[in-house]
Structure 1
């Protein structure tokens, strides 16, 4: 018997033949304190810009964040009222055709989206390709992403977030600050795998 065969034989012998119970008693109690403040603290630590506004101030707050941005791309299901105060050009993905990568990568273009749920403990925004979020491509290619998060979408931890998703099998994008990477000398570079700038607008 070769070494390879011996290793594989041991793996097969160790493999359970019946079902294996998996513990599901995850921590469900929310952390002490305000979930919104915890989320803000995490996002700012990840170098995202965070602003807060009341629901009736959403359009004006978005227009302020997009000041100087000539055009924005938005998912097909983004509420029209969100950008009612924005004077620039709004390009709706899929109206009539999906925006091409070259269009999404155009200088000066920003993307505005909602999110499915936000995790306070990890500072993570989860997008599940819903109507207010659109295709993954839409929020990964442009250099500037503005994400709207409603207060009721914020949960304490990942288990609670997964239970909030309408369909966990849909493609998920998990965002924790601007896209960044570090080399072996810990030199941080932003914008390598996604938007270089992330603005989060907390509503509520």
Structure 2
């Protein structure tokens, strides 16, 4: 059998298996939990608890106090220069720090900044996960990976309890989404926890209470 025919045989088998799998999906039992039992306050409490367990810094704010809280979080460790997505709300671009608006900044320019500030698309309380869909107020994925510090602003109304509830809210999420559960860290090598391997070492989250 030639290399070309061997390759075709493998592809044919994959195609046949895939078609067979798609036809049987309707018969797969889906007995997992689809909806959590917590109310909005419970989801907020659990989200905060999980994030802090991971080592993230979490504060709450009203919309009116948000600019002042942003200043406090950005200046807490002497940081001065930050990357911002192109459509970050103007009132979040506080004058107390220096901003670099991402209009295709180079990797070197991004790494030169002390951190990044973004919005978010959702939060999953059960796992303490923040979801970025990388829209105009969340920015390109690269700006949330290279800086050492990430300040993420999450609305309380964006928090759901379980992952199935997130997918119910976003039945067709974008092909590129980032799921953040705490600061970047790994313990793959000799069980020693190393921070910042594949993203920011420091994560700060402001949870904003929606105005009624």
> In which range does the TM-score fall when normalised by the shorter chain?
0.7 to 0.9
Shift of residue 88 of structure 1? 1.6
Q: 1:35 aligns with which of 32, 39, 43?
A: 43
SS of 1:73's equivalent in the other structure is strand
In 1, Cα distance between equivalents of 2:74 and 2:155: 19
Q: Which moved more, 1:134-143 or 1:178-187?
A: 178-187
| Cα pair 1:140 1:193 within 8 Å, conserved | yes
Q: Deviations over 1:70-122 (max 9, x none)?
A: 111110111011123x412111111xxx111111111x521000110000000
Kindly indicate whether residue 174 of structure 2 is the aligned counterpart of residue 169 of structure 1. yes
Counterparts of 1:114-129 in structure 2 under 5 Å? 114-129=119-134
Unaligned runs of 5+ residues in structure 2 are 1-9
Give the corresponding residue for 2:87.
Answer: 77
CA RMSD of aligned residues (A): 2.2
In 2, Cα distance between equivalents of 1:173 and 1:18: 27
Unaligned runs of 5+ residues in structure 1 are 1-7
Q: Which has the higher helix share?
A: 2
Give the corresponding residue for 2:155.
Answer: 150
Give the structure-1-normalised TM-score. 0.85
Q: After the TM superposition, which segments of 4 or more aligned residues of structure 1 sit over 6 Å from their partners? A: none
SS of 1:142's equivalent in the other structure is coil
Give the corresponding residue for 2:106.
Answer: 100
Give the corresponding residue for 1:88.
Answer: 97
Q: 1:49 aligns with which of 57, 65, 81?
A: 57
| Cα pair 1:129 1:170 within 8 Å, conserved | no
Give the structure-2-normalised TM-score. 0.82
